[in-house]
Amino acid sequence: MRRGHATGRGGARPARGFLSVGVRRRRRQHLGAPRSAPAGLGLAMSAKQGGRQRRPGSHPHCLEAPAPLGAGPAGGEAEALLLPPPPPELGPAAPRGCRAELGSVLLLLALYVLQGVPLGLAGSVPLILQSRSASYTEQAFFSLVFWPFSLKLLWAPLVDAVYVRRFGRRKSWLVPTQYVLGLFMIGLSRRVDALLGDGQGRGPDVVALTATFFLFEFLAATQDIAVDGWALTMLSRENVGYASTCNSVGQTAGYFLGNVLFLALESPSFCNKYLRFQPQPRGIVTLSDFLFFWGAVFLVTTTLVALLKKENKELTPTKEETKGITDTYKLLFSIIKMPAVLTFCLLILTAKVGFSAADAVTGLKLVEEGVPKEHLALLAVPMVPVQIILPLIISKYTAGPQPLNTFYKAMPFRLLFGLEFAFLVWWTPKVKHEGGFPVYYYVIVLLSYALHQVTLYSMYVAIMAFNAKVSDPLIGGTYMTLLNTVSNLGGNWPSTVALWLVDPLTVKECAGAQGQACGTPAAAELCTKAGGSCVTTLDGYYVESVICVILGFAWWFLFGPKLKKLQDEGQSSWKCKRTN
């Protein structure tokens, strides 16, 4: 068995707002390796790097027999960021330019593009379900699909620790996982149309869709762990910073392909208006076509990686953070038991309740009111530069000793956007006309989203800065992983609950049939059979929006000062006592 340094990732994902509804903490994440951040970034990161979690160190248990006696330590892939110092007689190692490792950079970029595609595809499904009249209870159930990326901490130590020495530490997981993903996508392409329903009487099978895409996202999260680990050792010390660029650019491109491009090409109206001379009833591609194509791409790419790319065996192990898998989980438990950490976790798990209706439901409501889902997806494109620049600006205000002050100041403004979004949904059907929506409507939607992003990123960057500030540097990887996992879960569970509550809070009446009601799906069916129709008299989204804002301001008044007070805790309150 071999010991190695398991280097992980850090970074809680920011919520994306209603223009990327359903993309629950997808996507772009930070390589929390011990390297310096770009100038001006400070402790903050680009939102594209927001959700990748740093993995704790672990004890790699090899699946092969130990190397023969006298084989020496060079028989496997021990990983570290720093090369060993050269012998004095050889002088300092010559730096390697980026061009010398261009192949590795392009491979990392391709792997991150592949990683973004499943996230984008899963993020497009809620919009498709909404266009096929799925209930909000069903949307809440499907939102569980986005949890695996927030729970990677549970199995990341295993991916770091168990591998086949001869094949490679990261390839032992990357290759089989991507093969399974490719075969899974090809198999899913044959059934996904039936699972989505035909939209004309046969509704979507949400339970089967959720189970299928949950496994889909679990595999993608596992691939993510392996790629992140390999990214830190594939490049030399001088060029390891390019791994973060590959991460951000690759996942952004992959998500765009799997979400925005797919929704545009899948839409008959978009294709007929912009891409065809003769209108047709279907888009250029279907979800089935898209899955089959990318499944084939996964299989071909994985085969090339398995045959042609070898892992770097020149690196030597550094001091490991923990001694084994069991020790990793014990360490996590000991961290969370500390009073300061426990208080922070409880506060951050409840801090985002006030934003849940605005972030999770607004986009689906706009689709329900007639906004084309492909237009909603395309509106997110001009926001990409804004989402890159905002963290750079905000980090100037969070780099000091009290970053949570920015979090506290931004929170009431973000809560007020919940009411503004509710007004936007109410106003939407009033400006709709036969040709769709006027240009000024989309300008107002885009402006609202842009201003909302300022408050969102102010809170996100502040939390990231605080997590980096208090993490014990001796066990920084494990510590940051835990804090960022809690931050991610603090956004996931309120979104799921918010979606689930929309239907129970909605009040409907049966119009045109006396003695009938619409309180349950069965009652609504009886109303329709009796010649009536269910009419919404009170939309649960508006009720929920007001309740969320009230709860959010209550949290801000009662618990906001307690969160700020954590900044006054001494460094000893955050240091974990370890037994070596």
Average pLDDT over residues 108-128: 91
Average pLDDT over residues 34-49: 33
317 falls in which pLDDT band (50, 70, 90)?
A: very low
Bridge partners, 27 (sequence order): none
If residue 61 lies in a helix (H) or strand (E), which one and from where to where?
strand 61-62
Average pLDDT over residues 196-223: 86
Average pLDDT over residues 361-389: 88
For residue 6, is pLDDT > 60? Answer: no
Comparing CA positions, the residue from 356, 348, 495 lying closest to residue 422 is 356
Query: What's the pLDDT score for residue 321?
Result: 43
CA pair distance 462, 405, nearest whole angstrom: 8
Average pLDDT over residues 246-262: 87
Q: What is the pTM of this model?
A: 0.77
147 falls in which pLDDT band (50, 70, 90)?
A: very high
If residue 430 lies in a helix (H) or strand (E), which one and from where to where?
helix 404-431
Query: What's the pLDDT score for residue 69?
Result: 31
What DSSP assignment string belongs to 492-549?
A: HHHHHHHHHHHHHH-EEEEESSTT-B-SSHHHHHHHHHTT-EEEEEE-HHHHHHHHHH
Query: What's the pLDDT score for residue 386?
Result: 83
How are the residues of the chain apportioned to helix, strand and coil, as percentages rounded to the nearest 5? Answer: 65, 5, 30
Average pLDDT over residues 241-247: 77
The helix/strand/coil state of 29 is strand
The helix/strand/coil state of 485 is helix
Tokens 């090409």, located at residue: 265
Beta strands in 160-228 (DSSP E): 162-163
What DSSP assignment string belongs to 161-177?
A: HEE-TTT-TTHHHHHHH
For residue 312, is pLDDT > 60? Answer: yes
For residue 207, is pLDDT > 90? Answer: yes
pLDDT in tens, 417-463: 999 999 999 999 999 888 789 999 999 999 999 999 999 989 988 99
If residue 126 lies in a helix (H) or strand (E), which one and from where to where?
helix 102-131
pLDDT in tens, 95-106: 556 676 788 889
CA atoms within 13 A on the CB side of 472: 22
Query: What's the pLDDT score for residue 516?
Result: 80
Comparing CA positions, the residue from 292, 260, 314, 311 lying closest to residue 108 is 311
In whole angstroms, how far apart are CA 463 and each of 7, 27, 408?
A: 22, 18, 10
In whole angstroms, how far apart are CA 415 and each of 345, 418, 420?
A: 21, 5, 9
Token output for 296:
């084939």
14 falls in which pLDDT band (50, 70, 90)?
A: low
Q: Is 325-505+539-570 the same fold as 100-311?
A: yes
Average pLDDT over residues 259-264: 91
In percent, how much of the chain has pLDDT > 90?
Answer: 39
Phi, psi of 174 (to 5 degrees): -65, -50
Average pLDDT over residues 308-323: 58
The residue type found at 30 is: H
The helix/strand/coil state of 50 is strand
Average pLDDT over residues 532-556: 93
Q: What is the DSSP letter of 258?
A: I
Query: What's the pLDDT score for residue 523?
Result: 82
Query: What's the pLDDT score for residue 474?
Result: 67
From the CB of residue 103, how many other CB atoms can be counted at a distance below 10 Å? 12
Query: What's the pLDDT score for residue 578?
Result: 59
Comparing CA positions, the residue from 572, 488, 79, 148 lying closest to residue 321 is 79
Average pLDDT over residues 57-67: 38
For residue 213, is pLDDT > 60? Answer: yes
What average pLDDT is seen over the chain? 79
Tokens 């209603």, located at residue: 18
Query: What's the pLDDT score for residue 153?
Result: 82
- Asked whether the beta carbons of 6 and 58 are under 8 A apart, the reply is yes
In percent, how much of the chain has pLDDT > 70?
Answer: 78
Comparing CA positions, the residue from 201, 205, 141 lying closest to residue 525 is 201
Bridge partners, 433 (sequence order): 436
In whole angstroms, how far apart are CA 521 and each of 84, 135, 209, 504, 511?
A: 67, 10, 20, 12, 15
Highest mean pLDDT among 399-403, 407-411, 436-440: 407-411
Helix 404-431 and helix 540-558: axis angle, to 10°? Answer: 160
CA pair distance 89, 535, nearest whole angstrom: 85
pLDDT in tens, 271-284: 988 888 888 888 99
Residue ranges of domains in the chain: 100-311, 325-505+539-570
Higher pLDDT: 529 or 31? It is 529
Average pLDDT over residues 50-70: 38
The residue type found at 344 is: F
Taking the alpha carbons at both ends of the chain, their separation in whole angstroms is 20
The CATH number of domain 100-311 is 1.20.1250.20: yes
Comparing CA positions, the residue from 334, 316, 320 lying closest to residue 60 is 320
If residue 62 lies in a helix (H) or strand (E), which one and from where to where?
strand 61-62
Helices (H) and strands (E) in the chain, counts: 21, 4
Average pLDDT over residues 303-307: 93
- Asked whether the beta carbons of 132 and 269 are under 8 A apart, the reply is no
Query: What's the pLDDT score for residue 42?
Result: 33
CA 186 to mean position of chain CA atoms:
23
Higher pLDDT: 81 or 377? It is 377
For residue 552, is pLDDT > 50? Answer: yes
CA pair distance 112, 220, nearest whole angstrom: 11
For residue 320, is pLDDT > 50? Answer: no
323 falls in which pLDDT band (50, 70, 90)?
A: low
Query: What's the pLDDT score for residue 467?
Result: 85
- Asked whether the beta carbons of 347 and 562 are under 8 A apart, the reply is yes
| Class at the top of the CATH hierarchy for domain 325-505+539-570 | mainly alpha
Higher pLDDT: 474 or 517? It is 517
Average pLDDT over residues 100-118: 88
Token output for 477:
């990887």
For residue 407, is pLDDT > 90? Answer: yes
CA atoms within 13 A on the CB side of 291: 22
Query: What's the pLDDT score for residue 579?
Result: 56
* Class of residue 37 by CB neighbours under 10 A (exposed 0-12, middle 13-18, buried 19+): middle
